[in-house]
Amino acid sequence: MDWVLALITGLPPVVVLALVFLLPALESSTLLGLVVPGETAVLVGGVVAHGSGLPLWAVIAAATAGACIGDQIGYLLGRRYGPAVLAHAPAVARRHVDLDRARRLVSSRGAAAVVVGRWVAVLRTVVPIIAGASGMRRAAFGWANVAGGLVWATAVALLGYLGAASLHYLERELGIGTHALLAVVLLAAVLAVWRRHRARRARQDH
């Protein structure tokens, strides 16, 4: 596992910060979030910050700025073109978009949906567009966007930062080797895919 962390922390800080800003910014504005979740880059930024490659506050600031700007663009696209914007998403990605769920969330929670939706990858991508298409006031969306983006960016960056620290601790203090750690990560990934598959089958049965 050390070689993985070394590879990540070896990236130039300017490249890491650019990715930390760009991926969250492109999630809603280009629908990239339906394919590549923005938190991937923010997690990497937290790992790099732990390796002293760049300050943690810079990672949080870049992620917050990217998330807020990207969602604001998504909101404006929804306000201008409506839900039809989602028709331009890749067909594979559209199959994973639960638009009814997103519409219900925006309809019932209003601006709070922008904050809540930020914690689910697919909702994070489409909620700003639906919020704009539904006529949500710009001021209401704006404050919810900033609040949600800041809390999300801080939490995900800290998760990457503390996760890197935990991996070093497990290997150094508990003697857990690289292969054991990789096995745990792989098992977690398999379980996540299995749970998602079961949830999708349950929705189709109903």
Tens of pLDDT along 52-96?
768 999 999 999 999 999 999 999 998 988 777 776 665 655 666
pLDDT value at position 33?
A: 73
Do 75 and 156 reside in the same domain of the chain? yes
Secondary structure of residue 137 in the 3-state scheme? coil
Mean pLDDT of 190-200: 66
Do 74 and 129 reside in the same domain of the chain? yes
Q: What does the block give as tokens for 132?
A: 């704009």
Do 71 and 8 reside in the same domain of the chain? yes
Residue 41 or 181, more confident: 41
Tens of pLDDT along 181-194?
455 555 655 666 66
**How does the average pLDDT of the chain come out, rounded?**
78
What are the b/e assignments for 95-111, b being 16+ CB within 10 Å? eebeeebbbebbeeebb
Q: The pTM is what? A: 0.74
Tens of pLDDT along 97-123?
667 777 888 888 888 989 988 888 778
Do 150 and 166 reside in the same domain of the chain? yes
Residue 137 or 88, more confident: 137
Tens of pLDDT along 3-13?
555 566 677 88
Do 129 and 206 reside in the same domain of the chain? no
Do 205 and 169 reside in the same domain of the chain? no
Other residues' Cβ atoms within 10 Å of the Cβ of residue 151: 14
Number of domains in the chain: 2
Residue 183 or 25, more confident: 25
pLDDT value at position 140?
A: 93
Do 168 and 201 reside in the same domain of the chain? no
Secondary structure of residue 109 in the 3-state scheme? helix
Tell me which DSSP letter residue 35 carries: T
Do 77 and 114 reside in the same domain of the chain? yes
Sign of CA dihedral 77, 79, 85, 86: positive
Do 140 and 89 reside in the same domain of the chain? yes
Do 106 and 47 reside in the same domain of the chain? yes
Structural domain of residue 198, as residue ranges? 176-206
User: Given a cut of 80, is residue 176 above it in pLDDT?
Assistant: no
Do 53 and 145 reside in the same domain of the chain? yes
